Each structure stands twice: as C-alpha cells, then as structure tokens.
Amino acid sequence: MKIRMLGTGYGPCKNKRKYSKEFRGRGGVLVDEHILIDAPDDIFEVAKELGFDEIFNTVTDVLISHSHEGHFSPRAVLRLAQRKRVRVFASEKVLSRLPESPNIERHPIGVFSELVVGEYTAAALPTNHQTSDPAEECFSFLLVGSRTLFYALDGGFFNKRAFNVLKMLKIDCAVLDCALEGEPISERHLYHNDLNTLVKMKGILESAGITGEKTKYIVSHIPTDKKREIHFELAPIVAQHGMVLAYDGYFARI
C-alpha cells in the first residue's frame, strides 16, 4: 500500500513559505495512485507546487468523508473526471452537489456501507463530526486488502459504533487528525483531536490489539491559522509518541 498526503492543513494556510514543511494546503490522501480519499480544491495546487501533478491522471475512485470545503469541492471532482471516468463514493448530501458529467459515476453510501474500491474492501464508519446540516452523515474510512488503512481526519475521539468494527481488525496504518494541536481538551470532544487525545487513542488501539509494533500512525489536518513554524515544533513531540507528523507530499509505503 502506497500513501501520498496531498495537503495536511486545517483551514487556509497563513504561512506562505511554499516548498517547505510549514506550508500546508487542505487536501486528501492518495492510496496506490488511484484511490483518493477527500478532494478539496487545494490538492491540485499542492501537487503542482511539489512537482507531481500528473498523479491525478490515474485516479479512478474518490471517497468523500463529508461536505466541509477542506474535504470536498465539486470543482475538484469535476476536474478529476475531465478526461476519464471516476467513481465517487459519498453521502447523498455530497453527491447532490456534484455537477452533471458523463464521467462521474455516483455511488451513494451511508454509515457501515461496504464497498469494493479497486483491490480493497472498504467500509464507511460513523464519526462524531458534524456539518451545518444535522442530517448529513460524516465518515471515516477503512480500506482492507493486503494492508489495512484507517482514515479518520475529523471526528474527534472514537465513535463507539465505529470502534466495535475496529476491534475485529488489525490496522497497518492509521491517519488521524491533530487539528487542535496542543490545546487540552476532553476525549469526548466532538470534532477534532489534540495531541493528548491522539496519545490516548493510540494507547487504546494498542491495548485492544487493533494495532501493533509495526503499525504506522500518520498525524495530519494540522492547524494553519498561525504564521509560526509549527512543523519543527510539533514533529519531534509527535515522534516521541511513536507517530509521524505528515506534511504536504509526505509519502509512505505500508
């Protein structure tokens, strides 16, 4: 399994030092060069700035977690589908915002939907996240194949129903958010994680046998509302807890 981070920020980036780890766009995760999880507008700028914008030529499947603009843009999906057919897996709310295109194949999903995405079996898990529409379902995703990925950027502490599914699995890679950075919060916070909560979540995953010594923890969705150099402050702290702080363009082979 190959993972490429196409934007690791939370909100518009005020640090204008492009070509550095301190500049973070809002983006998604590209898996095996053809599965894209979340598609905001920034993914194209991130890829262009880093010199690998041709990667979008191979995207065949798009999974959208929810409708917030840091995770979904109708324009971005339409651009991905300009020259080829693209399958989009998302809630009815998200799909209703997509423009008409013969190249967009729509697949409505709900909580606990099971999907076949490329060589993976995928599942949409419930989160604690919310949008302005209380009826919209927000998802984290599991991709299960020769390796298992748990993607949970937004949602805060574990949703109990989702955790019951995770307990049946062995996860090789977990992508988790740290949108609140070092702010002390309760693990019951509904929307995002801070570093303290991430450490607690990691401990729970390990004690439940869901993750092990070889599991890779990738931390993303980092706040970008300040101009200070957060990466070089936060990365060593994250590393002390056995996790990796991602940056735009970060690549990992699981």
- Tell me the backbone φ, ψ of residue 141, rounded to 5 degrees: -130, 145
Which pTM value belongs to this model? 0.94
In tens, the pLDDT along 7-37 reads 999 888 887 676 688 889 998 999 999 999 9
Domain range for residue 80? 2-253
Distances (CA, A) of 18 to 10, 49, 178: 16, 8, 21
In tens, the pLDDT along 131-189 reads 999 899 999 999 999 999 999 998 888 889 999 999 999 999 999 998 876 555 444 45
- Is pLDDT at 190 greater than 80 in this prediction? no
The H-or-E segment that residue 206 falls in is: helix 195-207
Cβ atoms of residues 209 and 40 within 8 Å: no
Dihedral (Cα; 4, 148, 175, 58), 10-degree rounding: 30
Name the residue among 16, 38, 21 with its Cα closest to residue 227.
Answer: 16
**Alpha-carbon gap, residue 210 to 51, rounded angstroms:** 36
Average pLDDT for 57-61: 95
Average pLDDT for 54-80: 95
Cβ atoms of residues 197 and 187 within 8 Å: yes
Cβ atoms of residues 77 and 39 within 8 Å: yes
Band the pLDDT of 233: cuts 50, 70, 90: confident
Total domain count, the chain: 1
Average pLDDT for 208-228: 89
Of the listed ranges 44-58, 113-127, 209-223, the least confidently predicted one is 44-58
- Is pLDDT at 207 greater than 80 in this prediction? yes
Residue 25: per-residue pLDDT: 92
If one counts every other C-beta atom within 10 angstroms of the C-beta of residue 94, the result is 25
Q: How high is the mean pLDDT of the chain?
A: 91
Residue 188: per-residue pLDDT: 47
CATH code for the domain in which residue 189 is found: 3.60.15.10
**Alpha-carbon gap, residue 207 to 11, rounded angstroms:** 33
